[in-house]
Amino acid sequence: MRLGEGVEWALHCTTVLAFLPADGALPAARLAEYHAVPAAYLAKHLQALSRAGIVESARGPKGGYRLSRPPAEITLLEVVEAVEGPESSFRCTEIRQQGPTKCAPRSYSPVCAIAGVMREADMAWRDRLAQTSVGDIAAGVASDVSAEVAAKAAAWFEEVLT
Amino acid sequence: MRLGEGVEWALHCTTVLAFLPADGALPAARLAEYHAVPAAYLAKHLQALSRAGIVESARGPKGGYRLSRPPAEITLLEVVEAVEGPESSFRCTEIRQQGPTKCAPRSYSPVCAIAGVMREADMAWRDRLAQTSVGDIAAGVASDVSAEVAAKAAAWFEEVLT
DNA sequence: GTCCCTATACTCGGATAGCAAGTGTCCGAGTATAGGCGG
DNA sequence: CCGCCTATACTCGGACACTTGCTATCCGAGTATAGGGAC
């Protein structure tokens, strides 16, 4: 099981966007520069966030991306699912109903015992992600960040938003 | 995030092996036949289970695979990790320490807030899988299975183990 | 009749191709801005 | 001097190559068994 790195990028980007003033916007190229990742590829994932209604985009000069809702109302689960897809990690292909012991479908319990546990594990994972919002993350980094990093970040914002 | 189908196969195979008598053994080809999956590819995953110490193998005639421990002492987490690998689903590449705001490593909190939550979600997933054993699964299917399927399975075991 | 030896057949194990999905990149569509022109 | 128009430059959005890892397969290494021969 492996998550694409786009998930990490999307989470960090939404966190950065949470610090934007309400009328501001950051282009994909700036977000990529901030995290030192390929701009063209990051754009692909930002489009996914846009389609999911997590961020909204504005074209033209002074355009870019901004959060479409208050950070506290965006859960990490939404961001992850927007990039990675909403389907469960485990896919049950019902192999218990195959082979030499095959019977009519009504002879089997409605859900495979294995698939049931795997699904519960998946729910536990999603529940944890749904309990934390982008606002929580932003508050956490705001309180933990060193003065040096905070100053650099503030200067960068100042320069980019002009 | 997507798990390989080898995980499903491995879980079902260990469940079937849980019903074997202590001195019995099932070859990979029989396990593949039982689930109607490609034998050569299933063998690859059974090798992973063998390397992880979950099953033990015997070569030659009357050989095959058997569980190396009582089913109740094998958790689903062990089986999943044996096939899929033990590494976490989320990989933090510390992009927060990159780009124009880069500072010395000591300026950052030891763990990224995002990586922390992702890790906790991963732990929740693993915890759920660790709470259920192969024995639990076997007991569940034994009580839920229909008489028709049970009879077919018993007949198949009888024929194969002779 | 019993024991031993050998040939056999069956098993696992790792090394080898094929393919799909994630990764990375590019160019076209659309729009707010800035400058120039006319009134 | 003010308002409008146009050209520009900057943005997003989807369509196009490349690489990694999962999927699938094969053949060689190893061993318990079964049969035959010698004592």
- The predicted pLDDT at position A100 comes to 93
SS3 B58: strand
- The predicted pLDDT at position A130 comes to 98
The answer to whether B52 CB sits below 7 Å from nucleic acid chain C is no
- The predicted pLDDT at position A143 comes to 94
Q: Inspect the interface and report whether the beta carbons of A90 and B5 lie closer than 8 Å.
A: no
Q: What is the pLDDT of residues B7-34, one digit of tens each?
A: 999 999 999 999 999 888 999 999 999 9
Identify the CA nearest to B13 among candidates B150, B39, B147: B39
- The predicted pLDDT at position B157 comes to 92
Closest CB to A1: pick one of B5, B89, B144. Answer: B89
Q: What is the mean pLDDT of chain B?
A: 95
Which residues, 6+ apart, have CB-to-CB distance to B147 below 8 Å?
Answer: none
Q: Which residue has the tokens 């660790």?
A: B130
Angle at B9 between CA B3 and CA B13, to 5 degrees: 145
SS3 B128: helix
Question: What is each CA distance from B87 to A76, A127, B80, B122, B126, in whole angstroms?
Answer: 21, 21, 11, 10, 11
Tokens (6 digits) for B114: 């995002």
pTM value is 0.93
Q: What are phi and psi of A98, to 5 degrees?
A: -115, 175
The answer to whether B95 CB sits below 7 Å from nucleic acid chain C is no
Query: Does residue B161 carry a pLDDT above 90?
Result: no
Q: Please, what is the angle between helix A113-130 and helix B76-84, to 10°?
A: 80
The answer to whether B63 CB sits below 7 Å from nucleic acid chain D is yes
Q: Which residue has the tokens 């700036």?
A: A30
Query: Does residue B162 carry a pLDDT above 80?
Result: no
Query: Does residue B60 carry a pLDDT above 90?
Result: no
Question: What is each CA distance from A111 to A99, A125, B138, in whole angstroms?
Answer: 18, 20, 14
Nucleotides of D under 7 A from a protein CB: 9-15, 21-27, 29-33
The answer to whether B6 CB sits below 7 Å from nucleic acid chain D is yes
- Smallest CA–C1' separation from B40, nucleotide: D25
- The predicted pLDDT at position A140 comes to 97
SS3 A19: coil
Q: Inspect the interface and report whether the beta carbons of B141 and A113 lie closer than 8 Å.
A: yes
Contact B111, B160 (CB under 8 A): no
Check residues 44 to 63 of chain A and report those whose beta carbon is under 7 Å from nucleic acid strand D: 44, 46-47, 50-51, 57-61, 63
In terms of pLDDT, which residue wins out, B150 or A160? B150
Q: Inspect the interface and report whether the beta carbons of B95 and A148 lie closer than 8 Å.
A: no
Which residues, 6+ apart, have CB-to-CB distance to B134 below 8 Å?
Answer: B14, B15, B18, B67, B71, B72, B74, B75, B76, B79
Q: What is the pLDDT of residues A97-139, one digit of tens each?
A: 999 999 999 999 999 999 999 999 999 999 999 999 999 999 9
Range A54-66 average pLDDT: 92
Q: What is the pLDDT of residues A14-40, one digit of tens each?
A: 999 999 998 889 999 999 999 999 999
- The predicted pLDDT at position B22 comes to 86
Question: What is each CA distance from B95 to A6, A36, A37, B141, in whole angstroms?
Answer: 12, 7, 8, 46
- The predicted pLDDT at position B23 comes to 85
Residue A27 one-letter amino acid: P
List the B11 CA – D32 C1' distance (angstroms): 29
- The predicted pLDDT at position B156 comes to 94
- The predicted pLDDT at position A57 comes to 94
- The predicted pLDDT at position B47 comes to 97
Q: What is the mean pLDDT of chain A?
A: 95
pLDDT band at B77 (very low <50, low <70, confident <90, very high): very high
